[in-house]
Amino acid sequence: MSQTMQAIVNHGPYDYRLERVDIPRPQGSELVIRVEACGICASDVKCWSGADMFWGNDEQPAYVEGPVIPGHEFVGRITEVGPDHTRFAIGDRVIAEQIVPCEACDYCERGQYWMCERHHIFGFQDSVNGGMAEYMRFPENARLHTVPDDLPLDKAVLIEPFACSMHAVERADIQLDDTVVISGAGTLGLGMVGIAKLKSPRKLIVLDMNDDRLARAEAFGADLTLNPTRDDVVARILAETRGYGCDVYIEASGAPASVRQGLNAIRKLGRFVEFSVFGEPVLADWSIIGDRKELDLLGAHLGPYCYPATIEGIASGAIPTNGLVTHRLPLSEFEQGFKMVKEGKDTLKVVLIPGTDAS
């Protein structure tokens, strides 16, 4: 067996390279997987393109510690276990949650591990290299879950993003008589559509500027779809709600205009869930949140406690996934994949398949 592998290595913004690096070896309770696939997330693209939240600015330090192998949307099979590992065996198909919590800070001790103060996430720190490689190591603090052997790869690779979608929907606390708006019908937004539909809201409205994605949202359960390039979104939402506005607005587009749109479209005492990662600061009239509407403003980060239900929902078909993986590329074509995700044309989920030479 070769002692080296192909991996994409992040050396800085727009400086990602396909290299040969040492195959990781497990120690203690660690394990190593052979990566079956790794999706390209919008946050991966924003890191690649130099967003301040990853590389820092005058107000915040850099989050990335590199050089580092990116990728947190992975699934694979165990090839080697450390001498102290007892839970899984070679050949098992597994996934790890994005975050590797320290298990010692205040948040971890309270069970709020997804907000761990150290906050090491696969693919952003060199101690937790990610899945854009042939093999990757899971540290002993990684939170692991079994993936069904018969789950098709195009479904298995959606577990991580859909766990995030599920957490965002859970944060929204959707009730049966709610009108829910989801802004953004990319992979994560479409995951929210399918999961929100399981909550049986009175009406589910989805917004996107891509008609193909809106058609997919309808197939996944949306009652009404609107395209901001031609629809007066706020007026339509008000018309659908007797002038009050939606009860829930989930922002999953990453567009600053969507935040302002949501603040105007949501009713008084509504619940605004901010999920997406922005590539630039967002300006909005915060007086709407307090003085005018007394909104509940909620963040949604990662997919805590959502993996088992997400895996079960995807495997059973209760959470729709059809057609979401649109492109499969070898590691050698990662730059093309990143550009496709950034442009967002004719793509949803772009997946890298290590160990292949052609798409």
Name all domains of the chain by residue range, CATH numbers in brackets: 4-158+324-352 (3.90.180.10), 168-299 (3.40.50.720)
CA distance 15 to 10: 6
Provide φ and ψ at 130, rounded to 5°: -95, -165
Q: Which amino acid is at 210?
A: N
Residue 358: predicted pLDDT: 38
Give the model's pLDDT for residue 278.
Answer: 82
Residue 323 tokens read as 């057609």
CB 76 within 8 A of CB 159: no
- Give the N- to C-terminal CA distance of the chain in Å, as an integer: 24
Q: Please list, in sequence order, all residues whose beta carbon lies within 8 angstroms of the beta carbon of residue 312, skipping any fewer than 6 positions away.
A: 318
Q: Which residues of the chain fall short of a pLDDT of 70?
A: 1, 357-359
Place of tokens 């079956």: 36
Q: What is the DSSP letter of 51?
A: -
117 vs 182: CA distance, rounded Å: 30
Task: Report which of 138, 28, 31, 137 is spatially closest to residue 83, judged by C-alpha positions.
Answer: 28
Separation of alpha carbons 280 and 355, rounded Å: 35
Strands 135-138 and 144-146: unpaired
Distance separating alpha carbons of residues 110 and 270, to the nearest angstrom: 28
Q: Are 184 and 251 contacting, i.e. CB atoms less than 8 angstroms apart? A: yes
CA dihedral 156, 319, 322, 330 (to 10 degrees): -20
Element (H, E) at 154: helix 153-156
Distance, in Å, from the CA atom of 358 to the CA atom of 28, rounded to the nearest integer, reads 36
- Cβ 20 vs Cβ 5: under 8 Å: yes
Q: Which residue has the tokens 């997946």?
A: 351
pTM to 2 decimal places: 0.95
pLDDT score recorded for residue 1:
60
| Strand residues in the chain grouped as ranges (E) | 4-10, 16-22, 31-39, 73-81, 93-96, 99-100, 120-121, 135-138, 144-146, 179-183, 203-207, 224-226, 246-251, 266-274, 296-299, 325-329, 349-352
* Predicted local confidence at residue 359, as pLDDT: 37
SS3 21: strand
Determine the pLDDT at residue 119. 96
- Taking the C-alpha atoms of residue 152 and residue 206, their distance in angstroms, rounded to an integer, is 27
Tokens (6 digits) for 111: 């069970």
Of the CA atoms within 13 Å of residue 41, those in its CB half-sphere come to 30
Which of 133, 109, 106 lies closest to 34 in space, CA to CA? 133
- Residue carrying the six token digits 């160990």: 355
The tokens for 253 are: 């587009």
CA geometry: angle 166, 8, 96, nearest 5 deg: 30
